[in-house]
Structure formats: C-alpha cells, structure tokens
Chains A and B, each alone.
Chain A
C-alpha cells in the first residue's frame, strides 16, 4: 500500500468524520425535540415521539439509509448521496439521543421540579434552567457511547455506495489485492477515532458512579 492509497483512505476518513459530525449535530437538535415531546404530558406530543423512537430502534440502520436514499427522490427532493445519508443519520440519531435524554430527564429527582414549582418558576424555566442542565450531566456517558455507535454506523453508507472510509477501503482492496492489510488499516483508523471516545465515556460513568455513591 503506497502513499497514493493511504491518501485515498484518509480522504474517506474525512468523509466518515463529516457524516458523523452532521448526523450528531442534527441529532442533537432534533433529539432535544424528541426528548421533550416524549416527556410531555400531552399524548398528542408523547405518542408520536414513542412511535418515532420505536421505529428507529426497531429497524436496521441500513434499511433507514436505503429508504432515505431511494425515498427522498420519490418525494421530489433530488439530493446528492451524502445529503440523503445525512438525513437518515440525523433522523436515526434524533431517535436514539431522544430516548437517552428522555431517560436522563426522568432520572432527575422529582424534588427538583417540585422545588422549581415552589419557587414559582414558570414551566419553561423549570425545564430549561433546572431540569435540563442536570439531565445533560446525567446523560453524558450514554451520549458519548452513542457517538461511538454513530461513527461506526456511518460505515453503512458504504453499502449505499457513498465513498467514506469503508467504501474507500473496498476500492483500494480491489485495486491492490491486499484485503487483510487494507481492512486492517481501515479498522485501525476507526479504532483510533472510537477508542478514546469510549475511554472518555467510561471515565465519565465511573466519576458519576462515585459521585452518586457518596
């Protein structure tokens, strides 16, 4: 494997990072909405959120990518492959992050919202200023864990035909006939991205466990 092939893989790596970043950023925005709908008292908001989460947690990410990739043009959106993949990853992330944050919001002790009520805070401030900052902290290990999941998930864009790291690996491997070397390098690149995040997530978890044990 020469410098040319390695540069090609690094280009793929860049796309992998970009896809994960878009999916994560979009997932944060829509995930907050999903989480808030999910904990809402109104069934008109809660039930669609439950359905949304169930749909994305109950089907393979690969199918979600395919449906977006072939479905968006049918709806009249003539979008490039990377945009279709980004839409699917964003929707996927919004459901998973929404569920993680739902759990975190509900894990904030009830006394907190009662105290906010007793102080006469309006409902909006109770959620934004009292509940959400605490929920954010509680959800951090699981959120980091999902980011690792999402980074690995972007590899499925390869099956749709988008040239990110894994697809770049397949192409290089077909050219130089050294599949073990190429996929070993590709795997090592994913590992270099994901492992530090995993370690960070575990550290956050241990810190929190120690804090709650006190």
Chain B
C-alpha cells in the first residue's frame, strides 16, 4: 500500500474554499451563540421563575446531549415547523444553539465577577454613568470571560466538522467529496486533520494577541 497525496494537493482549491466555509460556519455560529448567551443572561437576571427554569432547562439539555443528535433533530424539526433552510444555515443555527448554552454560563460568570462596590466606587470618584459602565463594569467582565470565550470559539470551530453529517458546506464535507471520487480516504483525512490543526493554532495565537492588546492593564 503506497500513499498518494497528489489527489489532495490537486484539489487544493476546493480545500481552500472548504476552509473558508469552515471559518464562516465558526464565525456565524459564534455570533449567534453570543446573542443567545446575552439574551439568556438577561432573562436569568430578571429572576422570574418560569423564564429562568426554561433557560436552565435549555442549558442542561444542550450540554448533556451530543451535537450530532442536536443537528439531526434541528435538520428534521425545522421543515416540520415550516422553516426551510439550506443545510449550511441549519448548521449555523445548530452551532449557535449549542454554543449559546455554553455562552450563557460563561457570560453569567463574567457579570457576577464584577462586585457591586466597584460601580459605587466609580460613581464616587466622579466618573459619568456611561464611563462607569464601559470602564468599570464591561471591561473587567469582558476581561474575565475572554479566555473562556476564546476556548469556546476554538471548540466551536472544531465542532463545525460534524456539520458534514447534514452536508453543510465546510472543510470535512469537501474532503468527503474528494474521498468519494478518489477512494484515497487516509490521505484526505490526514490532510484535513493538518488543516484543522493549523486553523486552531493560528486562531489561538490571534485570539491571545487580541486579548493582550485589548485587555491589558495600563502599564506605567
């Protein structure tokens, strides 16, 4: 048995497009997850019994079932509910719902991490209400949750591979098409693994660099 990577290198254009598809899924999924995350925290902070119960049930169900089952469920449930989406949009929705459950927990932790006395201290120092919120509540809260959100983003990026199961447009489904045409399974998946590794290493490095710039304390 000899390995033949020429089928993979020959398809570099499709793989590049697939990589763009994967990044698109990851970014859109994360954006949706953040919206769900903020909404969930807002609802929880209203401290009404039934809405809180629903949000908590949502978190527990999402966190304790596999993403593959969730995406299958949505894939079949949406058309029955009269919503017709293409597989890629369905995948974004599934990624957003899945990531959202984790984002609620992360953001809740961040909001709770800013003590109330800090706001009062800012007002006492004569800062404007908006300045207090921006500099004394929002920035520390974001700083506190940034590392967790970063690793959540990497996890979500890796999860996009599962979206091949409903034929969404991303790297793994592109790979499966190449595999079906060439029967070079190992070469294809070995290459995909390498591409994913590069994606997550570069993303990790970028997110860390952004975090250092945006959230470092002023040095004097």
Residues of B within 8 A of A155 (CB): 66-69
Q: For A58, give its contact among B67, B68, B200 (CB under 8 Å).
A: B200
B165 within 8 A of A: yes
B128 within 8 A of A: no
Are the CB atoms of A59 and B73 closer together than 8 Å? no
- Interface size of A by CB at 8 A reads 37
What CA separation (Å) do A71 and B193 show in the bound complex? Answer: 12
CB distance from B196 to the nearest CB of A (A): 5
Q: For B185, give its contact among A57, A60, A62, A70 (CB under 8 Å).
A: A70
CB distance from B141 to the nearest CB of A (A): 20
Given contacts A59-B196, A60-B162, A67-B190, contact A179 B65 (CB under 8 A): no
Are the CB atoms of B64 and A60 closer together than 8 Å? no
Are the CB atoms of A152 and B200 closer together than 8 Å? no
- Interface size of B by CB at 8 A reads 37
Are the CB atoms of A184 and B186 closer together than 8 Å? no
B192 within 8 A of A: yes
Q: Which of A111-167 contact B (CB under 8 A)?
A: 148, 152-153, 155-156, 158-159, 166
Are the CB atoms of B189 and A156 closer together than 8 Å? no
A107 within 8 A of B: no
What are 17 A-B pairs at a CB distance below 8 A? A54-B201, A58-B196, A58-B200, A59-B193, A60-B160, A60-B196, A64-B193, A152-B64, A152-B65, A155-B68, A155-B69, A159-B165, A166-B68, A183-B72, A186-B69, A187-B73, A190-B64
**5 new A-B contacts at CB < 8 Å, known A62-B172, A63-B192, A186-B69:** A58-B201, A62-B162, A66-B185, A67-B189, A155-B69
Smallest CB-CB A-B distances: 3 pairs: A155-B66, A60-B161, A179-B76
